[in-house]
Amino acid sequence: MVIELVPLTGEVETTRILEALKENGITGYLTGADAIVVPEMPAPLAHKIQALPGVKGVIEIDSPFPLASRAYHPEDTLVNVMGHLIGTAKPTIMAGPCSVETYDNIVEIAREVRRAGGHVLRGGAYKPRTSPYSFQGHGVDGLKMLAAAREDTGLPVISEVTSSDAVPLVAEYVDILQVGSRSMQNYPLLQAVGQSGKPVLLKRGFSATIQEWLLAAEYILAQGNPNVILCERGIRTFETATRNTMDINAIPVLQHLTHLPVLVDPSHGVGYSAYVPALARAGIAAGAAGVIVEIHSNPADAWSDSAQTLNFQEFEDMVADVDAISDALAKRRLSTQAKTPVA
Ligand code: PEP
Ligand code: MN
């Protein structure tokens, strides 16, 4: 259940509500989202709480992730990044190299992202690599290169943050904080990105269930940050022909369970550039709000994830396909609406 508070409700009122719950043996969790979450509450108590000062309403929600649930927030959440809305019918395209390499290279790639119709530049500055001997990223210098590419192109930038201590620094340079697959259950990190108030792209842990993933999103929302974007990036299965298995099922399931926008990452989802465009198309057809892909001026030379990186031509073709699919779906929806008789 969620006790919705009147915005800016003071400490005296919130303490009184928490005390009233406690007297009835119930612990309420005060979130930063103008809401107190309670596991469950008998109807007479809910009525009593409803009448207390500072209470806007008591909403019955039977979900382990109430703030993320569709029941709490029936409309789709739109995340605003420098004026671009993520979560509309128009797919958001995020693209860039796996790792930020050099200033010239990131600016060249950023210009291509903009030219091909992309909306956000990606690039890793802190790389959580499976091997300690692989390139770990340029750190703050990489963030500075990304900020310079934003200056050059006007595109917002996204980059991964790997520890809670680094959140204030990374948040200074980027427009969206990426929480990587390996960090999805790093709870102090989730709380820190929640407190930052910045848009957060939360990647699915490669062995995480949809429920575990939504509970991770709930950690961010509970800090009062509503700007959460989910990203399906493939899960580990028994299949070895591809790097991961992009879970298309997750897209409609999430749309049913949550109001948060869902992006797909076919680069990590499948792991081979030849298959990436097909998975991007599948993601959009299944209802994803956008795509995040790895691209490079010369994929064979990319410092990380070279096998799954698209070249500029492949990227341009992918954007055209993704737009064609979403335009076709939008057109059909419009014509279906037009044909529906008004009661
Ligand atoms: C990345 O985006 O380059 C990355 C490391 O992704 P993931 O966390 O999904 O493996
Ligand atoms: Mn990568």
pLDDT band at 338 (very low <50, low <70, confident <90, very high): confident
CA of 294 to the centre of ligand 2 (A): 7
CATH of domain 79-331: 3.20.20.70
* pTM (2 d.p.): 0.96
Substitution site in 94, 109, 233, 245 for ligand 1 pocket (most atoms within 8 Å of beta carbon) = 233
> Which one, of 64, 56, 57, 66, lies nearest residue 31 by Cα?
66
Report yes or no: 227 and 200 within 8 Å, Cβ to Cβ: yes
CA of 130 to the centre of ligand 1 (A): 11
pLDDT digits (tens, 9 = 90+) for 188-236: 999 999 999 999 999 999 999 999 999 999 999 999 999 999 999 999 9
104-118 average pLDDT score: 98
Residue 229's contacts (CB-CB under 8 Å, 6 or more residues apart) are 79, 86, 87, 176, 199, 200, 201, 202, 260, 261, 262, 263, 289
Distance in angstroms (rounded) separating the CA atoms of residues 173 and 171: 5
Cβ(180) to ligand 1 under 6 A? yes
Distance in angstroms (rounded) separating the CA atoms of residues 174 and 29: 31
CB-neighbour burial class of residue 322 (10 A; exposed 0-12, middle 13-18, buried 19+): buried
> Which one, of 310, 300, 301, lies nearest residue 271 by Cα?
310
What confidence score (pLDDT) does residue 342 get? Answer: 61
pLDDT digits (tens, 9 = 90+) for 259-304: 999 999 999 999 999 999 999 999 999 999 999 999 999 999 999 9
Residue nearest to atom 6 of ligand 1 (CA): 180
Residue nearest to atom 3 of ligand 1 (CA): 98
Report yes or no: 180 and 128 within 8 Å, Cβ to Cβ: yes
Substitution site in 101, 129, 146, 160 for ligand 1 pocket (most atoms within 8 Å of beta carbon) = 160
